[in-house]
């Protein structure tokens, strides 16, 4: 159990507001830039995948950040 708390402490040190900003920025880039790129290339499957991955980054970043701050 001690290893778990050590890992959580190390993640808390890594995850600051800049980390959160960077993760959300990657999600926005993937959603809008990559999604539109694949849409223009008529690649529906890749467009859908890029938008899903972008949403995951946009949602998961703040959730992980908040969870680490509350633990």
Q: Report how many domains make up the chain.
A: 1
* pLDDT, tens digit (0-9, with 9 covering 90-100), for 38-65: 999 999 999 999 999 999 999 999 999 9
Nearest CA-CA partner of 17 in 69, 70, 52: 69
Give the list of residues 6+ apart from residue 34 with CB closer than 8 angstroms, or none. 50, 54
Domain ranges, residue 13: 2-70
Confidence of residue 20 (pLDDT cuts 50, 70, 90): very high
């Amino acid at each position: 159990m001690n290893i778990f708390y050590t890992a959580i402490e190390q993640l808390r040190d890594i995850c600051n507001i800049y980390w959160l900003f960077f993760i959300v920025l990657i999600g926005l880039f993937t959603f809008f830039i990559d999604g539109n790129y694949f849409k223009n290339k008529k690649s529906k499957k890749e467009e859908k995948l890029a938008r899903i991955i972008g949403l995951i980054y946009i949602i998961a970043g703040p959730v992980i950040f908040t969870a680490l701050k509350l633990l």
